[in-house]
Amino acid sequence: MSAAEASDGPYAPPREVAGLEGCRWYHTMDVPGHGTVEGEWDLRGRVDQYLGGVPLAGKRVLEIGTASGFLCFEMERRGAEVVAFDLSADHPLDIVPFAGDDQTGFRREMSELVGGLNDAWWLCHRAFDSSARVVYGNAANVPAEIGPVDVCTFGSVLLHVQDPFAVMASALRLTRETAVVTEFLGPRMRPTPRLVRDRNPFLMIQALARLGVQSSVFLPDPRAMQPKTGWWLMTPALVRRFLGTLGFEATTTTRHTHLYGGVPHKLFTVVARRTRGSVV
């Protein structure tokens, strides 16, 4: 694919990144020519669990939140044509606007982090000899110029955005067949008096998920002014309700565990098939 072809429409022009310096890694990856790079999440060997076992061969996939590209290139390896979507260093994250918090330095730090993730994606794009394309922007405004896709994936993205329903609606208006939503429930926890007293958000969402309640937990703690880029924990039932509203009513839900920072964390994946409505 030529640079001119790749820069058509909403797609970012190719970028050459030769070395690891300056790259940031969201996932641990085995990168040809560079060895193993360490990231926060290690999904190696469990990708199909994370993606709900959806067949991808011959499918056009829109991946919301590609980060350093681990799932993008894994889906491509499974036969998908992937359009990756993410922020660039020029697009601000949804940072929680804590009152009294001077966020100037943090915004600069986040811009550098996102730029490093972008660089890692392009380094891997070359290392894996990938044909994937990438679009940069705000996920609440996915450009219609991408065109119809068969599958859309959201890999632990919705907890990081202020309006998760708007993000889902924007991407799924282009999706003909299947939505795959994977979200985070936190580390394995047992209720203790202190955790109950402090209303630990992970303990709360895990209990609500077990009860099958349509609910979410608002993560920002005004006393600690943390987390700055984490907004919501959601139950599978709430995600299914969102999806049904958008025309994806036939759902299956699976639960699985993956390593984050070397520690097992609980996640769930909702796979939803379109049953009504059509793409733009």
Q: What is the dihedral of CA 152, 157, 163, 164, to 10 degrees?
A: 50
Which band of pLDDT confidence, cut at 50, 70 and 90, is reported for residue 6? very low
Q: Which pLDDT does position 9 carry in this prediction?
A: 87
Q: Which pLDDT does position 8 carry in this prediction?
A: 76
For the chain, the farthest-separated pair of C-alpha atoms sits apart, in whole angstroms, at 61
The answer, yes or no, to whether residue 3 has pLDDT greater than 50, is: no
Q: Which pLDDT does position 138 carry in this prediction?
A: 96
The answer, yes or no, to whether residue 56 has pLDDT greater than 50, is: yes
**194 against 223, higher pLDDT:** 223
Q: Which pLDDT does position 193 carry in this prediction?
A: 76
Which band of pLDDT confidence, cut at 50, 70 and 90, is reported for residue 198? confident
Average pLDDT of the chain?
94
Structure tokens belonging to residue 105: 């330095």
Single out the residue of 74, 62, 212 nearest to residue 142, CA to CA: 62
The answer, yes or no, to whether residue 221 has pLDDT greater than 80, is: yes
Beta-sheet pairing, 149-155 with 175-187: parallel
Percent residues over pLDDT 70 in the chain: 97
In contact, 114 and 93? CB cutoff 8 Å: yes
Measured over the CA atoms of residue 254, residue 212, residue 174 and residue 168, the dihedral's sign is: negative
CA angle centred on 81, ends 38 and 65, rounded to 5°: 45
Q: Which pLDDT does position 183 carry in this prediction?
A: 98
3-class DSSP state of 211 = helix
Once rounded to an integer, what is the mean pLDDT over residues 75-96? Answer: 96
Distance CA 3, CA 8 (A): 9
pTM (two decimals): 0.94
The answer, yes or no, to whether residue 238 has pLDDT greater than 80, is: yes
The answer, yes or no, to whether residue 5 has pLDDT greater than 80, is: no
CA angle centred on 258, ends 255 and 263, rounded to 5°: 130
265 forms bridges with which residues in the sheet?
Answer: 187, 258
Once rounded to an integer, what is the mean pLDDT over residues 180-184? Answer: 97
The answer, yes or no, to whether residue 38 has pLDDT greater than 90, is: yes
The answer, yes or no, to whether residue 191 has pLDDT greater than 90, is: no
Structure tokens belonging to residue 181: 């939503």
- Reported as a single tens digit per residue, the pLDDT across 118-160 is 999 999 999 999 999 999 999 999 999 999 999 999 999 999 9
Measured over the CA atoms of residue 9, residue 14, residue 20 and residue 22, the dihedral's sign is: negative
Which band of pLDDT confidence, cut at 50, 70 and 90, is reported for residue 194? confident
Helix, strand, coil tally for the chain in percent (to 5): 30, 25, 45
Which band of pLDDT confidence, cut at 50, 70 and 90, is reported for residue 36? very high
Q: Which pLDDT does position 2 carry in this prediction?
A: 39
Distance CA 233, CA 230 (A): 9
Q: What values do phi and psi take at 190, rounded to 5?
A: -115, 140
Once rounded to an integer, what is the mean pLDDT over residues 176-197? Answer: 86
221 forms bridges with which residues in the sheet?
Answer: 226
Once rounded to an integer, what is the mean pLDDT over residues 37-51? Answer: 97
